[in-house]
Every structure is written in structure tokens, then in C-alpha cells.
Amino acid sequence: MTAGLALLTGCTPGGEVGPDGGRGGDPSPSEPATPPPETLDELETSLVESELVARAELEAEDGTSEVDATLDAGSLTAADAVTLIRQVRSAVGSLPVADYAVRTITLNFQGQNPDARLRFEIDPDDELLEETARIAAETPCADARVTDAETGDGVLAILDCRVPVAAEPVALAQTYSTLETMKPAGADTTWWQVLPEGPHVSPMLTVRHAPQEGRQELITDLAELVEAAGAENFSVLDDDDRLDVMATIDADQAQALGEQLWERLESEELGLRTVALDHPGQTGDYPYFRQE
């Protein structure tokens, strides 16, 4: 990776740096000095030709010098991902044609997770960058987005955590206790979204606060009720003192299941409770809906 990064600044690997900043030794005719990129298009080409990434897209918003960067790379360690993000941010800022600065950067790569994704909508400090890259590369939370746009409480990390396709509601609920171990240091707030593997899926469990004592037991109880009734598409939104429970079940069974779920929610001190049960093929048409 070091050799590839050198091409972004027009340096050729090899040779010693002399007192005047030049490289010692005879220049090799097979390795001419590469001029540094001067435009976003040239930087895109340099990134690909140096084999740092398979694809690079650098776009400046019209009328501004703010750049949105999207990078597709192959297999990277968390440390390599951190280095690549830092170097691309630096290279964009060094282009002479405009006072460019990276606004957002998205990196798709393969870590221990085959489909890891990092997206930064802020310029993170070293700790936050390194921790978020580690989580995306090495934990079930392979998709990590860091922003300050969703909340007024500082930096927000949103982590999408994939579980096996066959995960049943109870197995889903049991992931709750592991979420706290996948919280990036440096983030003021972390949201977790637990999804089954596969394309075009919705979160099964969304947690928008630090995991609370006793909450996994509650969610597990709700999951057991849903499984026993044969309901599908179980999902939970856990937002501090608010808990929403959703599932799909035949209309003639919705009332019985809805009352069971509601009774369990009433046993907890919550500011807002919601149970919404729809039936197959009728999304949004709830044979059971209650909120208090």
C-alpha cells in the first residue's frame, strides 16, 4: 500500500531522500517520475492505476469545493482502511486547482467481513476513525456510518449488524447483549440496526441508546410470543423509554397475539409503547394496532 500511496504525490518508490529533498541514485528509465494529480479526475485515475482501489469516484458539489468520495477496494485490514482514508483525504486537499476538502468519504472493502462499508460524513479524529474501521472490518457490524446530521448530541455512529438468514426472533433478541461491545470509542451516541443477511432487508432490531439492563429479557419474551404464534417479520425499535413491536400474522390471529405482546409491554416502565401487527400481503393495514 505504501508504494501505491506514493504515486498520489508523484513520488517513485525507492531511492534515498537527499538533503535537498530529491531522491538519490540514478533514475531508472523504466520508472519515470510520475507527476502528481492536479484534478479530481486525475486523482481518480491515480488511485485506480496505483491499485489502491478498484474504483474511485470523487465529485465536488456544484459551486463548492466540498468533495464526496466513494472508493471500492479489495481485501484490507482495518489499519489499511484507516491509512487509505487518511491518504485520500490528504490527496484531495493537496490538489492545486481548487481548495478542495472531503465532505463525505465512503469505503467499500473486504475485511473479516466480506462486504464491509465505512462512511464518514464528518472528519473523524484518529480514535473514532480507527475504532469504526475495526468494527466494520472485524465484527458483525460490517456497515458503519458516522455523522452529526441526525442528532444534536454530538457525533452519531450508526452500525448495521448482519445476522444469519435463518435467525429466528429469539436468536435476534439474544444479539442485544453483544451490541455494547461494538460501540466505537469517540462516538457520543451509537445506534445499532440488526439485519438478516441478504439484499433488500429491513432492520429486525433497532437500538437507539446504550443497551439497558433487563431490556434483552423483555425483547426475548416478546420474540418467544411471536415465535409461538407463528408470526413473521418480527421487528423491534428500542429508543430509550420507547419500544415498538411489529410483526406479520393472519388477521384472525392478530388480536390474541397483540394482547399478549401488549400485556408484556405493560409490565415495563416505558414512556411509549406500540404494537403493530399487519397481515400477509396487506402491509400497513393493521388488524391489531395499539399505542400509548
Q: Which residues pair with 107 in a beta bridge?
A: 71, 118
Task: List Cα–Cα distances, 56 to 75, 87, 99, in angstroms.
Answer: 16, 13, 20
Alpha-helical regions (H) of 204-289: 215-229, 251-266
What pLDDT is stored for residue 264 in this prediction? 97
What pLDDT is stored for residue 21 in this prediction? 44
Beta strands 116-120 and 101-110 are antiparallel
In the numeric block, which cell numbers belong to residue 139?
465484527
Q: What share of the chain is helix, strand, coil (3-state, %, to 5)?
A: 30, 30, 40
What pLDDT is stored for residue 183 in this prediction? 92
What pLDDT is stored for residue 17 in this prediction? 41
What pLDDT is stored for residue 216 in this prediction? 93
What pLDDT is stored for residue 11 in this prediction? 47
Backbone φ, ψ for residue 3 (5° rounding)? -65, -40
What pLDDT is stored for residue 34 in this prediction? 74
Q: Which long-range contacts (CB under 8 A, 24 or more apart) does 26-32 make?
A: none
Per-position pLDDT tens, the chain of length 292: 555 555 565 544 444 444 444 444 455 556 666 788 999 999 999 999 999 999 999 999 888 899 999 999 999 999 999 999 999 999 999 999 889 999 999 999 998 888 899 999 999 999 999 999 999 999 989 999 999 866 667 899 999 998 876 678 888 888 898 898 899 999 999 999 998 877 767 889 999 998 888 999 999 999 999 999 999 989 999 998 999 999 999 999 999 999 999 999 999 999 999 999 999 877 667 899 999 9
Helix-helix angle 78-94:40-49, to 10 degrees:
150
What pLDDT is stored for residue 62 in this prediction? 85
What pLDDT is stored for residue 19 in this prediction? 43
What pLDDT is stored for residue 88 in this prediction? 97
What pLDDT is stored for residue 236 in this prediction? 96
In the numeric block, which cell numbers belong to residue 41?
479526475
What pLDDT is stored for residue 164 in this prediction? 76
